[in-house]
Amino acid sequence: MMATYHLLIEKSHLNNGKPYSDLFNRTPVLEEIGDYQAEILRRNRANRDDVTFVKESKILEPILRSLDEGPHSNLRRYPIHGDINPQNLIWKNGILVGLLDFENVSTTNGPTIRDISQFYNTAFRDAKVKYRLDLNLAKQVLLYYKQCHPMSNEEVRLIPNLMIAGFIEDFVYAFWMLKNDPERARRYRLALYSRAAQWSYSNRERIAHALLE
């Protein structure tokens, strides 16, 4: 489904009028982290989520800053979906019939490979250790994808860094949810997103090697 969807995007010449986005969405995420840190420091009393956010964000900031966009700056970018995950898929009688939540298409442009990295982050976690990627499943998905859509080694090498940036962005969004919609935020775990980003960062060469095999 994703490969077919990407072929449609690439052939349709869609233009949302927005400039090319930073591959790692670095600037807005770092700004949000700084704003939340400053807000927490201004308070007289910090709760457990605040303490976790400050502690983990100080680890994640230098990781996000270190990601190198240069080798991939020539990749073509499109108004991609940006959030393809099991919750946004519609099934009927065991057949995939629809895809929801296209809000990112109107605001950002990115390489199609970003959809795959986000899907890995949400749907292909290790069954026993949730912050790790199930490399076997990830490899299988990529093999099926390539049967319908070509992919360069350069794109595959970018996947681990996109995963890292995605987890850090999810970490910041989870904190926003905890502040603004605590009822829905029960399923968001700050420490888990942070550990997933750190594991992906420490194992980025291993991930890339496995996907390129």
Instruction: Give φ, ψ of 27 to 5 degrees.
Output: -60, -55
Q: What is the pLDDT of residue 71?
A: 79
Q: Say if residue 116's pLDDT is above 90.
A: yes
Q: What is the pLDDT of residue 17?
A: 87
**What's the average model confidence in pLDDT over 19-26?**
86
Q: How crowded is the C-beta side of 125, counted as CA atoms within 13 Å? A: 18
Percent of the chain at pLDDT above 90? 69
Q: Give the pLDDT band (50/70/90) at residue 139.
A: very high
Percent of the chain at pLDDT above 70? 100
Q: What is the pLDDT of residue 64?
A: 97
Q: What is the pLDDT of residue 201?
A: 98
Q: Give the pLDDT band (50/70/90) at residue 67.
A: very high
Residue type for 132, please? R
Q: Give the pLDDT band (50/70/90) at residue 144.
A: very high
Which of the two residues, 153 and 188, has the higher pLDDT score?
153
CATH top-level class of 2-212: alpha beta
- CA-based angle 55:57:61, to the nearest 5? 135
Distances (CA, A) of 27 to 23, 68, 165, 168: 10, 14, 11, 12
Average pLDDT over the chain, rounded to an integer: 91
Distance of alpha carbon 7 from alpha carbon 101, whole angstroms: 19
Q: What is the pLDDT of residue 150?
A: 92
Exposed, middle or buried: residue 114 (CB in 10 Å: 0-12, 13-18, 19+)?
A: buried
**What's the average model confidence in pLDDT over 94-106?**
88
Q: What is the pLDDT of residue 194?
A: 97
Strand partners, 99: 89
Token pair belonging to 143: 């093999």
Token pair belonging to 175: 């904190």
Q: Tens digit of pLDDT for each residue in 29-55?
A: 999 999 999 999 988 788 999 999 999
Q: Give the pLDDT band (50/70/90) at residue 69.
A: confident
**What's the average model confidence in pLDDT over 55-71?**
94
Q: What is the pLDDT of residue 15?
A: 85
Q: What is the pLDDT of residue 140?
A: 94
Q: Say if residue 199's pLDDT is above 90.
A: yes
Distance of alpha carbon 198 from alpha carbon 210, whole angstroms: 18
